[in-house]
Amino acid sequence: MIPIYKPFLKNYKKSAMKAIESGWISNHGINIKLASEKLNEILNVKYSILMNNGTAATHCLYIALKYKYPNIKKIYLPNNTFITPYNCGLYEYPSSIFEIMKISPKTLNIDTSKEYIMNLEQNAAMVIVHNLGNIVNVPRLKRMRPDIIFIEDNCEGLFGKYENMYTSSFDGLLASSISFYGNKTLTTGEGGVFITNDIDVYKYIKKVYSHGMTSEKYKHDILGHNYKMTNIQAGFLYDQLKDYNTIIDKKNEIFKYYLKYLNKCIENDEIIITHKEENTIKANWMFNIIIKSINYSKFKEYMLKKQIQIRPFFYSISCHPHLSEIKNENETAFNKKITEHGAMLPSYPELSEEEIKYICVCINEYLKF
């Protein structure tokens, strides 16, 4: 079976093993400091707080927003993304404050046309999600709407770029979150990071993520959470960060081979690849295709018979009953139908060219039925 993803850790265990052998296995240990500093250096950001998962980091985006801008009246969200930005928003805000944005069928991201963005409400915030690793040009949006507060769910967009800077690094963001889940480009099994260039936000979230504890041991003055990453996890992360270019190169090669072996189907419009926005570079996280002629369930069944795992695209928000109260007037038939025609393909770093060629042969065979 060719799985949808496998973590690539065989060369990145040394610091984690040292943590185990030293006895420093919780959040107190040198790897936390080393990994955070290395990440700041690579992304060119000021502050990062390593957390136990990407959801915790995304939750802290909303906590930071509420802390820094308590009078926000509207929060705009994309559609057809993973569930996290919706759930995390509801941890902190009533459903009435949210509104689902229009989606571009070409990018599967928010509609970034000037006409649409300029007509959004004032006194608002926007949650950016780089869906499936396709990057939204946030600096461009901020230039159009400097009044809107931007927070960035970058859990699928690590090492993508907008305007020649890595995602998460744009100074016009209030904060950003990244996931290190088992299927991400860098992984700690579970894990995440909260990133900001705002010192006040950093200090506040640093307290929130550790039970709301003050500098005096076991005294707490705000409601907090236990969102800390372990020193073992940080060891895996640190070793990967020291060799991140190798991992990126492997991921880029996978995408190159998919495009090579699916080229004819793409040229004939049998397969559609998402367009990228101007002045962006995709993160190359999970290779994905849209095939108008397929039914996903039947395609999945066929691929499993060929010993290949695939995954569907993310569902429209209207498919989740607990989110039914969120304003969703921009939904179209496309939002509901795209999951029937989209598929994520295996994209792990050790996937070989021969395996990719086999996957593409199977797709071509299916299209001939």
Cα separation, 368 vs 113, in Å, equals: 37
Cα separation, 239 vs 10, in Å, equals: 11
Structure tokens at 218: 């076991």
Whether 238 and 257 map to the same domain: the answer is: no
CA dihedral 159, 164, 167, 172 (to 10 degrees): 170
Whether 149 and 81 map to the same domain: the answer is: yes
pTM as predicted = 0.97
- CA angle 311/187/131 to nearest 5° reads 45
- Give the count of beta carbons closer than 10 Å to the beta carbon of residue 303: 20
From 166, 208, 209, select the one nearest 186 (Cα to Cα).
Answer: 166
User: Which of 54-68, 249-263, 286-300 is the least confident region?
Assistant: 286-300
Q: Which residues contact 224 (CB under 8 A, 6 or more apart)?
A: 207, 208, 209, 210, 211, 212, 213
Q: What is the pLDDT of residues 15-29, one digit of tens each?
A: 999 999 999 999 999
Domain housing 259:
245-367
**Is 252 contained in some domain?**
yes
Quote the pLDDT of residue 366: 95
**Is 8 contained in some domain?**
no
Total structural domains in the chain? 2
In CATH, what number is assigned to the domain containing residue 310? Answer: 3.90.1150.10
Whether 221 and 298 map to the same domain: the answer is: no
Q: Residue 194: beta bridge partners?
A: 49, 177
Structure tokens at 99: 């509104």
Whether 71 and 142 map to the same domain: the answer is: yes
Cα separation, 129 vs 135, in Å, equals: 8
**Is 25 contained in some domain?**
yes
Q: What is the mean pLDDT of the chain?
A: 97
Q: What is the pLDDT of residues 134-192, one digit of tens each?
A: 999 999 999 999 999 999 999 999 999 999 999 999 999 999 999 999 999 999 999 99
